Amino acid sequence: MLKASFRLDPAFTVAPVSRRTFGSFVEHMGRCVYTGIYEPGHPTADEDGFRQDVLELTREMGVSVVRYPGGNFVSGYRWEDGIGPVADRPVRRDAAWHSLETNEVGIDEFMRWAGKAGVEVMYALNLGTRGVQEALDVHEYLNQPDRTHFAELRRKNGADEPYGLKMFCLGNELDGPWQTGHKTAYEYGRLAAETARALRSVDTDLELVAVGSSHSGMPTFAAWEAEVLELAYEAVDYISAHTYYEPLNGDVASFLASAVDMDHFINSVVATADSVGAKLKSKKKIMVSVDEWNVWRQSKFAASAKAADPQEWPIAPRVIEDEYDVTDAVVVGNLLISLLRHSDRVTAACQAQLVNVIAPIRSEANGPAWRQTIFHPFAITSRLARGEVLRVEPQGPTYDTERFGEVPVVDAVATHDPESGEVSVFAVNRHQTESVTLRIELGGFEQRTFAVAEAWTLTDEDRSASNTAEQPDRVVPVESHEASVTEGVLKIELPAVSWNAVRLVAQ
């Protein structure tokens, strides 16, 4: 059995845990909205047509913020289509996903859903086909109390009080040639700055996210961020980062180390932003919003997209409904570890997406909803991560990967809540055949003693196992009896290819 170790000390903190780290994403794409969160006539549907089974799972998952309404969808979206009497709303083509949008769900409906789910909304503005005026109009509809045209229209539509949204994305992936309204960095940077200044002229208490690169493999990566921020640095608060992972050519070893790439990606975005700040002699720090991330088999999606009939314009088709296995769940758990350890700069993140579309929750029309394997590490991490993120430096074995070279077998992060005294540890074992004994010294906590309150392990002998409508609980975390504290040392047995979480209580 392999061995690894690290020491925890409450004096070595990274930053407070940001609740916005546990965000999700609802896009008008595939079946995320229709038969996902919304299905009038479903046995669990409430008076507004929302599936209560999906709402319950969303709350159980611990989602804090949801980015809406896109995604690529937003770059051609006319938000006015989704307000007022449903019978009067137009059906539009969605060029992004080659489908028809009925607009049955719009701003008011989604805000009602968000209230029921208990989540904050991060609203994405259309800077693809629209711009400054659209941003001002939708902000007025959402946030102006009364008297103005759009405020009174909102009140007429049933929402007397303003929604009070604070976080707005200034467009989506406009560096990508696939994006409706694709722009150069200069074109986008100017538009983002102009839009941000206009919004701040009517509401000084906003948090604005500028569009970063669609992924780190883009030929313009880093150069895009640098030029956009040089134009918009003082006007925005965040730069976005999008990143997806999949096993390529059967390379499971590299796939299990995906968080190594996420670490590098985040560090590169931060370095670029700080370089611009230094050049501009600004004391301001730009934060990072990783508002799209997940495991996504993009190569499979690309093949299916090529086979699609260009003459067909379906409503809510099945699009990228990936089925996740045990290995995927371990990777997702590891990506959450990466996000937490960057909490000094990553203060918002959205797993894409919430339901059906590369999602932790799956549902069937007029049928059940269930938890995919990747649901579990998200839900447990969201529940247990409290207080301050602690700096962790594991010592232990490494292994070779084709994509990332030599990487650690064990990756981990920890949090400490000074108020309750609780400590939570999250760890993965990336090794495909060997278990690891992880030894964690707790001596930095003023000689306090700890006891294991709960310990969870997600693993399985069949790493291709997944959850389905027929077997919704085939893969679940199991309570681990292999975690114990003796004389100020926590020992955890980490099975091969596993994600693990332990909560300690001070005695």
Q: Is the pLDDT of residue 307 over 70?
A: no
Which whole number is the average pLDDT over 121-138? 98
Average pLDDT over residues 309-327: 93
> What does the pLDDT look like over 201-217, one tens digit per residue?
999 999 999 999 999 99
CA–CA distance, 187 with 199 (Å, rounded to integer)? 18
What pairs with residue 436 in β-bridges? 2, 494
Q: What one-character DSSP code corresponds to residue 87?
A: G
Nearest residue to 142 via CA among 203, 70, 193: 203
> Domain 2-9+389-506 carries which CATH code?
2.60.40.1180
This prediction has a pTM of 0.97
Max Cα distance, the chain (Å): 70
Kindly state the tokens that stand for 186.
Answer: 């200069």
Domain residue limits, the chain: 2-9+389-506, 18-384
Peptide bond between residue 71 and the one before it cis (omega within 30 degrees of 0): yes
Q: What is the rounded CA–CA span in Å between residue 409 and residue 404? A: 13
> Beta strands of 467-506 (E only): which ranges?
478-479, 483-486, 489-494, 498-506
Task: Supply the pLDDT for residue 212.
Answer: 98
Say if residues 196 and 155 touch (Cβ distance below 8 Å): no
Number of H helices, E strands in the chain: 11, 25
**SS3 assignment for 30-54:** CCCCECCCECCCCCCECCCCEEHHH
Identity of the residue numbered 233: Y
- Overall size of the chain counted in residues: 507
Instruction: Report how far residue 139's alpha carbon sits from residue 165's, in angstroms, rounded to the nearest whole number.
Output: 8
**C-alpha of 29 from chain center:** 16
Q: Is residue 47 scored above 70 in pLDDT? A: yes
pLDDT for the residue numbered 251: 97
Structure tokens at 226: 């640098």
Rounded-to-integer distance, Cα 269 and Cα 239, Å = 8
Query: What is the average per-residue pLDDT within 370-396?
Result: 98
Quick check: 507 pLDDT over 90? no
The pLDDT, as a whole number, for residue 311 is 83
Measured CA to CA in angstroms, residue 422 lies from 69, 221, 506 at distances of: 37, 40, 6
Give residue 301's pLDDT band: very low, low, confident or very high (50, 70, 90).
confident
What is the C-alpha to C-alpha distance for residues 279 and 504, in angstroms, rounded to an integer?
A: 45
Query: How distant, in Å, are the alpha carbons of 46, 52, 54, 148 from that of 60?
Result: 18, 12, 10, 39
Residue 198, φ and ψ in degrees, nearest 5: -65, -45
Task: Indicate the average pLDDT of the chain.
Answer: 96
Band of residue 466 on the pLDDT scale cut at 50, 70, 90: very high
Is 308's pLDDT higher than 80? no
Tell me the β-bridge partners of 191. none
Residue 425, beta-bridge partner list: 414, 502
Whether residue 365 is predicted with pLDDT greater than 80 in this model: the reply is yes
Query: In the CATH scheme, what is the homologous superfamily, with its name and number, of domain 18-384?
Result: Glycosidases (3.20.20.80)
Q: What residues act catalytically? A: 173, 292
- Please tell me the distance from the alpha carbon of residue 99 to that of residue 76, in angstroms, as a whole number: 12
Q: What is the pLDDT of residues 70-117, one digit of tens each?
A: 999 999 999 999 999 999 999 999 999 999 999 999 999 999 999 999
**pLDDT attached to residue 447:** 62
